Structure 1
Amino acid sequence: MADHNPPTAGAATKVPVDGKRNILITSALPYVNNVPHLGNIIGCVLSADVFARYCRMRGYNCIYVCGTDEYGTATETKAMEENCSPKEICDKYHAIHKEVYEWFNISFDEFGRTSSSKQTEICHAIFKKLLENNWLSENTMQQLFCDKCQRFLADRFVEGNCPTPGCNYDSARGDQCEKCGKLLNPTELLHPRCKVCQNTPHIRDTDHLFLELPLLKDKLEDYINSMSVAGGWSHNAIQATHAWLREGLKPRCITRDLKWGVPVPLEKFKDKVFYVWFDALIGYVSITSCYTTEWEKWWKDPENVELYQFMGKDNVPFHTVMFPSTLLGTGENWTLMKTISVTEYMNYEAGKFSKSKGVGVFGNDAKHTNIPVEVWRYYLLVNRPEVSDTLFTWTDLQAKLNSELLGNLRNFINRVLSFIAKEPGSGYGSIIPDAQGAESHSSTKALGEKVGSYVELYIEAMEQVKLKQGLKMAMSISSEGNAYLQESQFWKLYKGDRASCSVIM
């Protein structure tokens, strides 16, 4: 799993090159208020990392950008819990994320954050274009307002009794009841209370801005219909996207009554910020602009750049509907996503990963097990939930380590290297021998043909972003190597047919 031309600190930044395959890779920006668990890692950053390494090995001109998603209600809530500012929360968790990904050997060209000044600058530019092109509308919404705190309360700043018959859980959040799982609006809660001061809020009108998705529908559908076929979108991405389209596109609110976020550059809305699902996606662009001042060569050249995006299934509609609609609405020539690779969920033992309940393995836990990072990377990739949910279990990790990494790959490497390292008389004194007459050695020729076909299958799988299949093909080469060694009985040939033994070694 070694890298090929890994990005190094201070290295010159890359821009698209005429005549080369230029590939821009992103993985869903992890939210900053928690520690990533193994499901997050395989769903986003590790999958994108493996594809980026493959592209570099193939000689493609490729960059891989990612970063922490830092704005929104969840950060404000976490800051309140930890009694500090949202900025301090973001600084703390950005460092934790960075450390986890460095330990996992994730080869980003740039790992940034969405709270940068570049983010504000690019968000404002895109917003102004949407405004000029009349794709935005204004509408009045009803929201809970706390007189004591003198603020509108975003969904996570409200708690109350769940309105679902038979539930009545008394600590339901404004966006969802954790007990029965029902999605809620804050105004639906019974006996609502402000999470900050515990006062009872009341309903008040507030004006917001909306992206008119129904008006952009034709442009969006043209893009989806052409790219989902040509780009080879994963089946689950196509399903999730068409489900959204079937339900009918509705205007999407892009502003929030919050303090922590990109400010809206209009006098009437100066006390509001952009909704995190509007601004976070623009983070891919702003993080690239932190990597190179020539970021537009990556993001505004669809003829020469292929955009590959990696994420878990819950993020799909934001990348296949919201983000392309936003970019299409500017009327500029943006590089839109060509290929999307989506994972299902990886669950833990008998249930879902949950930091709050202490269930699962999180990035910092993996580091403290003393199990080498290559073992973690291998197990997550071989267990990648490409077409259905998969399960992490400790017994399966142990079994795959023993039978596949040790029993197959290590066995193959160790037998060859240890034999070559033996002293002359029983080995080659640590010098790899010449392979004279290899072209006429029948079992070696047969092995060469088998390996050649596996390499072709490996490339085919990787080009289609079927990473699990690619890994399977690579491990099959090792299995063939073991069979070749065993059948040749090289240890006997060393005494009786040194030339054949040398070919095999």
Structure 2
Amino acid sequence: MDDDDPKLPISGKRNILITSALPYVNNVPHLGNIIGCVLSADVYARYCRLRGYNAIYICGTDEYGTATETKALEENRTPREICDKYHAIHKEVYDWFDISFDQFGRTSTPQHTQVCQEIFNKLWENKLISENTIQQLYCDTCNKFLADRLVEGSCPLCNYDSARGDQCESCGKLLNPTELIAPRCKVCQTTPEIRDTDHLFIDLPKLKAQLEAYINGTSVRGSWSRNAVQTTNAWIREGLQQRCITRDLKWGVPVPHEKYKDKVFYVWFDAPIGYVSITSCYTSEWEQWWKNPKNAELYQFMGKDNVPFHTVMFPSTQLGTGENWTLMKTVSVTEYLTYQGGKFSKSKGVGLFGNDVKDTNIPVEVWRYYLLINRPEVSDTSFEWEDLQAKLNDELLKNLGNFVNRVVSFIAKPENIGYGSIIPDAPGAESHQLTMSLSEKVGKLVEEYVEAMEKVKLKQGLKTAMLISGEGNAYLQTSEFWKLYKEDKPSCAIVVRSAAGLVHLLARLLEPFMPSFSHEVFKQLNLPPHFSLSDERAEVLQASRPWEILPPSHRIGTPQPLFKELKDEEVQQYKARFAGSQV
């Protein structure tokens, strides 16, 4: 989406700054990562543009920290080489998925270092940074302090035996490496010993009053998703503690303090600042977005494991500087997407990863549709091949594709049996009862679609748009337009022109979800893509007068099937191919 001129907030318009959690650079994103962050945010960004809001979508790879150092050890490369390699892989995957970033950056930039250090210096000036000696695990074999990701052991809470030093993947509890039972060094597997080391901490208790006032007000005003509110409240209830923001690592943002110059910032201190630094790579006037709370709204998208860092840590960092930051207004959080009920695993070859998806014969619009109609909004959902097949064959092919194809194909028929590719004029639609009944239903559904999307209920928005397609099919069936053509040409013209208007409307409503589908529909209508549903241009009201959407005597393009059936034998092949070594 990189336009030459970066967008800046415009006075009197809705200015929406959208971010999705920065994917870690040390792996290939799987379907769960894609729906949890970048795809959900993309749908909302496209919706905002559709409504005529001034919106930018910022994302990038999170490149610092232990995860990258660990991967570099595994692959025998430098951390920089790892970042370059995987940043390119991520970019390629998101390009294939039609993700419309305004800027897809990375955190290993000079701009990122500068913004991080400036924020730290402000916190230091405001006496919100304290120094503490802590006990940390030291590996004698590797001759260094072990960062939390370099330690594994049993979780003290649920006994999961491969808990990481910062978080247990099984129960989600945040940990300190010294809490692990039977810890071992991830590199050499020996048992580390506990030693003292000095670190810097952000003093969250001092920010408690400000933070709680922000959370209590904004979580209601910004209608935060339920899971975000629950996780945040749990953190506050447990009591805010000073959080360590430095690590004994080489790969990261250097701490701008003489005593700590050999340490770097903890990745969860620097990663959310990445949204700011990547925006600063997009425009030198980034403060117009980030220090403009009256005129810019911040919407953030993420999986549930990222919540406390965005609702507690990052806002505390912003508040602590004493500057007038744009704080998050709305957070949209997904639960997990599992694969056939189990975990995705790159090492075991289980599940679909971004680069696998483009090697299937299933087009991108089908993947986007499936992930979004199954978006894990309130509970974990499971990717199932038979479910993908059913959704493609029944919902996309027989409902949506069938409706569009019937309308466009009928108009394209030669003149003695159709309209010779010309949209007919249709006087008298207001007195055609079936059409008036359709337009009333469609008008209501479009209002519901807008209401759902404004509240970031993306799955609901998609379902509502698909209901319009269902109404279109019912309208065609009830009207028996193929008979009308012979028996009542004026009524047939009303039905066909209204149905063609509905096709145009559906292409717009579904563009945030399936942009490639919408582009193809516009091609078949022989029209330039028109992705707008703005109030200013009264396009929402126009939805309840579908016969007025397309001009009469417009010549359409060539009809083509929009979706292809997924057969049983293909499903079996895919299931076998992505079952991995667990079978």
Report the TM-score range of the alignment, normalised by the length of the smaller protein.
Answer: over 0.9
Using the TM superposition, give the Cα deviation of residue 200 of structure 1 relative to its aligned residue in structure 2, in angstroms: 5.8
CA deviation string 1:49-100 (max 9, x = no partner): 0010110010000000000011010110000000010010011111111000
Task: Determine whether 1:486 maps to 2:486.
Answer: no
Task: Kindly indicate whether the alpha-carbon contact (under 8 Å) linking 1:167 and 1:180 is maintained by their aligned counterparts in 2.
Answer: no
Indicate the SS of the match to 2:405: helix
**AA matched with 1:288:** T
What is the aligned counterpart of 1:382 among 365, 373, 384? Answer: 373
Instruction: Name the CA distance, whole Å, in 1 between partners of 2:307 and 2:50.
Output: 28
Alignment of 1:48-67 (within 5 A): 48-67=41-60
Aligned to 2:259, the other structure's residue is in SS state helix
List gaps (5 residues or longer) in structure 2.
Answer: 497-583
Which residue identity is paired with 2:346?
A: K
What is the CA–CA distance in structure 2 between the aligned matches of 1:285 and 1:461, rounded to whole Å?
A: 28
Q: 2:68 aligns with which of 68, 75, 95?
A: 75
The match for 2:430 is 439
Structure-2 separation of matches of 1:199 and 1:235: 42
- On the 8 A contact 1:461/1:470 being kept in 2, the answer is yes
Counterpart CA distance in 1 for 2:43 and 2:158 is 47
Asked if 1 retains the 8 angstrom alpha-carbon contact of 2:160 and 2:170, the reply is no
Q: Which runs of structure 2 are paired with 1:250-289 in the superposition (5 Å)? A: 250-289=241-280
Q: Secondary structure at the match of 2:26?
A: coil
- Confirm whether residue 88 of structure 1 aligns to residue 54 of structure 2: no
Q: 2:18 aligns with which of 19, 22, 25?
A: 25
Contact 1:298–1:305 under 8 Å retained in 2: yes
- Residue in structure 2 matched with residue 113 of structure 1 by the alignment: 106
* Residue 349 (structure 1) shift: 0.7
Distance in 2 (alpha carbons) for counterparts of 1:28 and 1:331: 24
Provide the rounded CA distance (Å) in 1 between the counterparts of 2:374 and 2:482: 36
Count of equivalent residues:
496
Distance in 2 between residues matched to 1:182 and 1:322, nearest whole Å? 16
Whether 1:240 and 2:231 are equivalent positions in the alignment is: yes
Between 467-476 and 188-197, report the one with greater CA deviation: 188-197
Question: Residue type of the partner of 1:78?
Answer: K
Counterparts of 1:439 and 1:40, CA distance in 2: 48
What is the CA distance between 1:496 and its match in structure 2? Answer: 1.4
Q: Which runs of 5+ in 1 are unaligned?
A: 1-6
Amino acid of the structure 2 residue aligned with 1:67:
G
- The Cα shift of 1:201 comes to 4.4
Asked if 1:451 is matched to 2:451, the reply is no
- Secondary structure (helix, strand or coil) at the match of 1:44 reads helix
Q: Compared with structure 1, are the counterparts of its residues 39 and 172 closer, same or farther at alpha carbon in structure 2 (3 Å cutoff)? A: closer
In the alignment, what sits opposite 2:302? Answer: 311
Query: 2:132 is matched with which residue: 136, 139, 142?
Result: 139
What is residue 218 of structure 1 aligned with on the other side? Answer: 209
State yes or no: 1:153 paired with 2:146.
yes
How far apart, CA to CA, are the structure 2 residues paired with 1:46 and 1:276?
A: 23
Q: How do residues 281-300 of structure 1 correspond to structure 2 at under 5 angstroms?
A: 281-300=272-291
Q: Name the residue aligned to 1:13.
A: 6
Q: 1:151 to 1:15 in 2, by over 3 A?
A: same
Distance 2:177 2:252 in 1: 20
Distance 1:238 1:192, change over 3 A: closer
Amino acid aligned to 1:49: D
Could you tell me whether the CA contact under 8 Å between 1:145 and 1:153 is conserved in 2? yes
State the distance in 1 between where 2:360 and 2:287 align. 43
Which amino acid is 1:491 matched to? W
Structure-to-structure mapping, 1:408-447, within 5 angstroms: 408-447=399-438
Percentage identity across paired residues of the two chains? 75
What CA distance in whole angstroms lies between the structure 1 residues aligned with 2:105 and 2:15? 21
Q: Secondary structure at the match of 2:56?
A: strand
- CA distance in 2 between counterparts of 1:46 and 1:225 reads 28
Relative to structure 1, the CA distance from residue 242 to residue 277 in structure 2 (aligned partners, 3 Å threshold; closer, same or farther) is same
Aligned CA distance change for structure 1 residues 284 and 421 (closer, same or farther; 3 Å): same
When normalised by structure 1's length, the TM-score is: 0.94
Q: What TM-score comes out, normalization by structure 2 length?
A: 0.82
Residue pair 2:155, 2:168 contacting (<8 A) in 1 also: no
Superposition RMSD on alpha carbons, in Å?
Answer: 2.2
* Separation in structure 2 between the aligned mates of residue 423 and residue 447 of structure 1, nearest angstrom: 27
**Counterparts of 1:230 and 1:182, CA distance in 2:** 28
CA contact (8 A) 1:236 1:387 kept: yes
Taking the aligned partners of 2:117 and 2:422, their CA distance within structure 1 comes to: 63
